[in-house]
Amino acid sequence: MHGSLSAGRIERLIAEMDLTEKLGQMTMLAASLVVTGPPGPDNPVTLVRTGKVGGILNTWGYDEIREAQRVALEETRLKIPLYFAVDILHGHRTIHPIPLAEACAFDRELWRRTARESAEEATRDGIQMTFAPMLDVCRDPRWGRIAECAGEDGYVHAEYAREKVVGFQSANPDPNRRLLGVAKHFVAYGAVKAGRDYAEVDVSPRALHEVYLPAFKAAVDAGVAGIMPSFTDIAGVAMTANKELLHDLLRVKWGFNGLVISDYNAIAELMNHGVAADLAEAAALALNAGVDIDMMAGAYENGLPIALERGLVTMAQIDEAVTRILRMKHDVGLFDNPLRGLEKVGPTPDNMPGHRASARDAARRSLVLAKNEGNILPLQRTTRRMAAIGPLADAQSEMMGPWCMAGDEREAIGILQGLRESFAGSEVIHSIGAHCTDEVEPELIAEAVEAARASDVVVLCLGELRQHCGEAASRTTPRPSRAQMQLSRAIMALGKPVVLVLATSRPWILPDWMVDGASAVMLAMFGGTEGGHAIADVMAGDYNPSGRLCISWPTRVGQIPVHYNMRTTGRPFDPDNGFSTRFLDSTIAPRWGFGDGLSYSTFQLGEPQADNKIIDQHGVTEIAIDVTNAAGPEGEATLFLFVNDPVALVTRPVLELKDFAKAVLRPGETKRVGFTLSAAQLTYPDFAMEPRLDDGRIDIYIGVSARPEDLKRLSIEVRQTAKARHTELV
């Protein structure tokens, strides 16, 4: 704790502030507006000097931060330090795998560690806040921002949320190395219609409570410093003005005491939504809903004075927001040490000891091996000649994926480089073959075919450019470009063994022939700075793949949304019944589903056992299962624990993830893996969205994926002492 500014002093400071200074604290501006621009009254430095800015986004580094802070401290009337925020989604200088990939590691320690390392680098660069973690559960690969989330499951997001918040905010014992997290985007942004960015959202209260809210609750419980409402609406109520969710739920019911920070220009966009007639109304709606900070809309600065005059808001509300902002600045240590964390000595943020090795470990744990016919992988070290082909083969900067503002692309490792290092005894030739565009260039394909013909194995590296991923990057059909398709056809026609490596930010809709034509398929996504090394490590067998999909890969766009935890229906799929739920022109199962992923080892499960077969509403049962590495090298198994409630008040998902665990096993080794399952984890929202626990049987399924053939079942019974089942119905 930094004790020099007590609550009383914050109050006195607020008493000294004029309205402009208060609204300045409530305003966050982008660095481009603050540190550049011509001299004059609107000169951004003038904005800082006149107290019109409380925090700055998108700048970092010794000189930049020191100069901006100097103006705030030496040239403003009240000498209140600025805070600095950057979108650090998957690494600051050292870039980790994109979140959708890192979630596939199903590794809580890893999630926490990479967040802590991001915080160590970012604080050395003078940053105190990141707009992360991003917690928008998404089942729609058309949405570009799916890259930023942890996949299709709400529980995975809740676990990921806690680890990221702790990793950023409290895992480091040194308070100067802690970064404030801002969980975003509250809430259900991942459900934008048709996956079209910024489009409308219309989800049921049940979907909100079961799927989209739990991650935010977990972030709040872990002490997250801020929450960012999404750009979108929910059922017509714009989130930036959503009092019911921002105030009644977040502040009152959940007791959230931190900052609510608008998204970029989102307050002004309330006019575009058609719910505010002018900036004053927009500002009033946001403040009344509980938004403390206006990012880049100028709405608080220009709209709130008018809103005050019109009686739409009160000074007390403004003071409350300013109090929270000053308290954040105080708690993070800025009043005591305005250059907190910024270092000129010691390791530089882009050269922290151990961070590269850690990033390599993260990238290889995140990679998912989806197909490995005839155990073609790992490749023989004695392979004479290998061809690395495709637009992503030698594309080091693309490996970093979207949102890597301070990452240095010159530091990133491409696939070709990784292969050349790992297969030093082989000749690794390269041919681009195609670009990520639809325009086919026959000469490029011809060259690539020659290279493939002259090789023993082809590593075909397809994917997306990172500028086509992330925000504002929706696609109706996420798939390889036409040029990449033609290239693949030509290469696969040769009949050489093909290892298909997909460097994408999202699930792709692949043609069947492309999957059939590849001997192995690696869903590498974007592994970050060490992406190329990670791919080569797995290909060479230096790492036994352990990633499992946190997101389904549909076979066709028309299947979207497809996810493992669909609800039961009155007519469940039955291959012999045409009037069961199905498509006439496609299977209902995705190509690869949640939990899918291969290892070089074969893991076998024993029969699960529970120490308590009957539990009451306070009960807990310990479940144990043996897992054996039955064939192959040392490897890491991931075990998923799902439940199904067969008779409930409302339809329940066919499977619901409640826990997951890892076990590292030597060849032939057996380990016992334990899970603790409590009655509280078996509740679901009742009609009033309050937790409900049913009496009766609960089926528990444990497996290395969510595929029926991989699951071991056992049942327990819930027997509550008081409340009878279905009381809500009467």
Binding pattern for the stretch 151-190 against ligand NOJ, x by CB under 6 A and - elsewhere: ---------------------------------x------
Q: Could you say whether residue 264 binds ligand NOJ (CB under 6 A)?
A: yes
Residue 580 CB-density burial (10 A; 0-12 exposed, 13-18 middle, 19+ buried): middle
| Least distance between ligand NOJ and beta carbon 182 (Å) | 8
Which residue of the set 263, 292, 361, 596 is catalytic? 263
C-beta neighbour count of 137 within 10 angstroms: 27
Q: Does 269 contact ligand NOJ by CB under 6 A? A: no
Residue closer to ligand NOJ, measured from CB, 50 or 265: 265
Near ligand NOJ in 119-138, by CB under 6 A = 131
Least distance CB 252 / ligand NOJ (angstroms): 25
Residue 472 Cβ vs ligand NOJ, minimum distance, rounded to whole Å: 9
Closest-CB residue for ligand NOJ?
Answer: 131
CA–CA distance, 535 with 575 (Å, rounded to integer): 39
Give the chain's radius of gyration (CA, Å).
Answer: 27
Binding mask 362-381 for ligand NOJ (x = CB under 6 A): --------------------
Decide whether 149 or 502 has the Cβ nearer to ligand NOJ. Answer: 149
Alpha carbon 646 to its chain centroid, in Å, reads: 31
Q: Which of residues 41-80 bind ligand NOJ (CB under 6 A)?
A: 57
Nearer to ligand NOJ, 27 or 422 (CB): 27
Cis peptide before 187 (omega within 30 of 0): yes
Give yes or no for residue 263 binding ligand NOJ (CB under 6 A): yes
How big is the site for ligand NOJ, counted in residues (CB under 6 A)? 7
How far apart CA 419 and CA 540 sit, in angstroms, is 8
Helix (H, G, I), strand (E, B) or coil at 279: helix
Cα angle: 541, vertex 547, 548; to 5 degrees: 140
In the chain, the largest separation of any two C-alpha atoms, in whole Å, equals 79
Distance CA 60, CA 57 (A): 9
Distance of alpha carbon 530 from alpha carbon 557, whole angstroms? 31
Compare residues 87 and 394 and give the one whose CB is closer to ligand NOJ.
87
Shortest CB 205 distance to ligand NOJ, Å? 24
Judged by beta carbon, residue 293 or residue 521, the one nearer ligand NOJ is 293
Determine the Cα–Cα distance for residues 104 and 96; give it in Å rounded to an integer.
13
- Least distance between ligand NOJ and beta carbon 225 (Å): 14
Judged by DSSP in three states, 57 sits in strand
Determine how β-strand 614-615 pairs with β-strand 609-610: unpaired
Nearer to ligand NOJ, 117 or 263 (CB): 263
Interacting positions 80-99 with ligand NOJ (CB under 6 A) = 87
CB of 227 to ligand NOJ, least distance (A): 12
Strand partners, 713: 701
Instruction: Name the residue nearer to ligand NOJ (CB basis): 131 or 600.
Output: 131
Q: Is 408 a catalytic residue?
A: no
The DSSP secondary structure of 133-202, one letter per residue, reads -B------TTSGGGGGS--S-HHHHHHHHHHHHHHHHTSSSSGGG--EEEEEEETTGGG-GGG-TT----
The CB-of-470 to ligand NOJ minimum distance in angstroms stands at 9
Q: Quick one: which of 64, 471, 616, 695 contacts ligand NOJ (CB under 6 A)?
A: 471
List contacts with ligand NOJ (CB under 6 A): 57, 87, 131, 184, 263-264, 471
Active site residues: 263
